[in-house]
Amino acid sequence: MGEEALDIAAVAAIARISLGEEERERLGRQLAEILRYAEQLMAVDVEGVEPATHPFAEGAVPAEDAVESGFSTDEALRNAPRREGNLFSVPRVLEDV
Amino acid sequence: MAEDLPYRSLRSLADGLADGSLTALALAEAILARTAALEPRLGAFISWDGDDLLRGAEESDRRRRSGQARSRWDGIPIGIKDLISVHGQPLTNGSRMLGSYVSPYDATVISRLRAAGFLPWGRLNLDEFAMGSSTEYSAFHCTANPWDLSRVPGGSSGGAAAAVAAGLAPGALGTDTGGSIRQPAALCGITGLKPTYGRVSRYGVTAFASSLDQVGPLARSVDDVAILCATIAGSDGHDATSARLAVPDLLAEAQNFRSWTIGIPPEFFGEGLQPDVERAVRAAAAFFEREGCAIRSISLPHAPLGTAVYFLTATAEAFSNLARFDGIRYGHRSRGAEDAVDIYGRSRAEGFGDEVKRRLILGAFVLSSGFQDAYYVRAQRVRTLIRRDYEKALAQVDFILTPTAATTAFPIGARNMDPLAMYLSDAYTVSTNLAGLPAISVPCGLDGQGLPIGLQLIGRPYGEGDLLAAANFFQKAHGFHLLRPGAVEEGAAEEGSS
């Protein structure tokens, strides 16, 4: 079912990955094959079975709400592709009005 | 002794450091020399910082001389998969996406290694973002298998497994999301442990699939694996999913032989299993039986669905986790981007390789409205069934015995153009990640071509001690872990004269 439904261009846009035409064709073909393989799950009787999102029932344990020292501004910005002063620099987001 | 240095156990190295017959500096120099000699043909590392290792070794020797050694292991280098943050060192995740990123902090497992005096060593190769089973999906290069340089070492922790097998590190830390520690350990003839989900902190480890990822050790003996697991395990406030449980004395537990009841699931001995592998694994079961263990046939009827469930689960989680790589705060930013949003699409298109793109797009699809129930939610329901199978089986037996991988190391290029064939390389390992269980791979012989075979033991939650004990008992009676990879030894002999 999924292979016909897989609109590779639309899904790639959701994943924020720009694809060329050749890449779209190739990845689309490979993903269709993987989805065909996954279709064996459709035959499993899962009526009344709870989905497991985690291995164990305990779930996450909240951390104590205590102050810890973090990075300095310089450390936090050390890997920035572009930086201006104490800020990450990006092209403008808002259009002129 | 100098010849033997690359293959000495952690205890033997510690004894040498304690009695003064060895210094951390001499050990570091020997490892650096061997790495320089073998790396051109092996490719186990993405990078290494020899100065950092030598500096760490000198500091360790100073500590020891002044009676301040942090533990008996102080000064022993441990290789690190390039997915685990080490302060001041690069972190590539096997990808071009991270650019020249340098980690601003240590992962918890690294802090714990350092607290015992171990020296984090090198950045070991992996499939990009740990997505793969051969290291062929590394953005940098494929690692060769030390037993046959034309074959893959397995993956994704293939660099770690190859480095340990080739004597370039006494042990290493890797990660296992669907088999990424156990499968390369099997293919390289070493021992690898995936601890129970939550046993080891994931803080500072690049997240791939958060409900499946687990850090664990790879080493040349069960004892070494136990030492490393004991060092890194335990509750961590920085990881909300780390189990708030005390860790038992794994080194003591690893010595406790018991007359275990062992389960054999027919689902792991089906089509596609290499006959040599089946023979070796069945011989291991027969060995345990001779030694007084009870062997029982058990059923894991949903385990064969593991690969399909894994794909729908891991890709969905990866889609969410890898959203952070957007070219804004760190990593690669496309120069061609015209506006802020365009940065995302282009930076990710340029930074990610094919396999990562495939998985992220699949993840976006299985979570998209209209398909989420049919794919993602259904996979999670089948995951419950897989977990119940294991719960039921492990109520009857102490652990489950299977092959780690259906085949021994495959040739480079054999599966990398066929994503589905590559995914099925992990068919015997993925279901334990879905169930969160601990599992160990230990060498159990060689196939007709002289390639190592891995035996997998799967245990109860937090039952690492029992697994280590059983693997240790098997290992001591057989000595397969003492076999050394021929191909890389020949290489070492040739290089030795230069």
ipTM computed for the complex: 0.93
Tokens of B199: 């046993």
- Interchain proximity A51–B340, CB inside 8 Å: no
Give the pLDDT band of residue A64 (cuts 50, 70, 90). Answer: confident
- Interchain proximity B309–A41, CB inside 8 Å: yes
Q: Is residue B363 part of a domain?
A: no
Residues A38-55: pLDDT tens digits?
999 999 999 999 999 888
Option in B197, B348, B377 nearest A17 (CB): B348
Option in A13, A38, A81 nearest B333 (CB): A81
Option in A41, A55, A64 nearest B197 (CB): A55
Q: Is residue B105 part of a domain?
A: yes
Average pLDDT over residues B151-162: 98
Inter-chain contacts counted by CB atoms under 8 A, chains A and B: 182
Please give the Cα distance from A29 to A25 (Å, whole number): 6
Q: Is residue B145 part of a domain?
A: yes
Out of B95, B133, B138, B156, the active site residue is B156
Which residues 6+ apart lie within 8 Å of B485 measured at CB? B145, B146, B147, B165, B166, B188, B189
Please state the domain count of chain B.
1
Of B193, B61, B183, B42, which is closest to residue B122 (Cα–Cα)?
Answer: B42
A85: contact with B, CB 8 A cutoff = no
pLDDT on residue B496: 46
- Interchain proximity A33–B420, CB inside 8 Å: yes
Question: Which residues on adjacent β-strands are paired with residue B458?
Answer: B400, B439
Q: Is residue B482 part of a domain?
A: yes
Instruction: Count helices and strands (H / E) in chain B.
Output: 17, 11
pLDDT on residue A53: 81
Closest chain A C-alpha to B132 CA, distance in angstroms: 15
For B14, B54, B64, B154, the CA distances from B69, given in Å and listed in that order, are: 11, 17, 4, 36
Residues B454-465: pLDDT tens digits?
999 999 999 999
- Interchain proximity B319–A15, CB inside 8 Å: yes
Q: Is residue B133 part of a domain?
A: yes
Please give the Cα distance from B170 to B168 (Å, whole number): 7
The alpha helices in B322-408, defined as continuous H runs, are 340-351, 354-366, 378-396
CATH number at residue B132: 3.90.1300.10
Q: What percent of chain B has pLDDT over 70?
A: 98
- Whether the CB-CB separation of B124 and B142 falls below 8 Å is answered with no
A89 to chain B: nearest residue by CA? B328
A7 to chain B: nearest residue by CA? B365
Give the pLDDT band of residue A4 (cuts 50, 70, 90). Answer: low
Amino acid at B465: G
B334 to chain A: nearest residue by CA? A81
Q: Is B156 a catalytic residue?
A: yes
Residues 424-483 of B with CB under 8 A from A: 433-437, 461
Q: Which single residue is written with the structure tokens 């396999």?
A: B355
Residues B359-400: pLDDT tens digits?
999 999 999 988 999 999 999 999 999 999 999 999 999 999
What's the mean per-residue pLDDT of chain B?
A: 95
Lowest mean pLDDT among A71-75, B120-124, B491-495: B491-495
Average pLDDT over residues B274-295: 98
- Whether the CB-CB separation of B214 and B238 falls below 8 Å is answered with no
Q: Which single residue is written with the structure tokens 């650096």?
A: B32
pLDDT on residue B289: 98
Give the pLDDT band of residue A62 (cuts 50, 70, 90). Answer: confident
Q: Is residue B345 part of a domain?
A: no
Please give the Cα distance from B288 to B264 (Å, whole number): 12
Query: Is the pLDDT assigned to residue B286 strictly greater than 80?
Result: yes
pLDDT on residue A97: 62
Which domains are present in chain A?
1-43 (1.10.20)
pLDDT on residue B342: 87
Query: Is the pLDDT assigned to residue B8 strictly greater than 60?
Result: yes
What single string gives the DSSP state of each residue in B161-227? HHHHHTTS-SEEEEE-SSSTTHHHHHHHT-EEEEPPTTSB--TTB--SSTTT--EEEEESSHHHHHH
For residue B470, what are the domain limits? 5-302+383-496
Query: Is the pLDDT assigned to residue A2 strictly greater than 60?
Result: no
Q: Is residue B359 part of a domain?
A: no
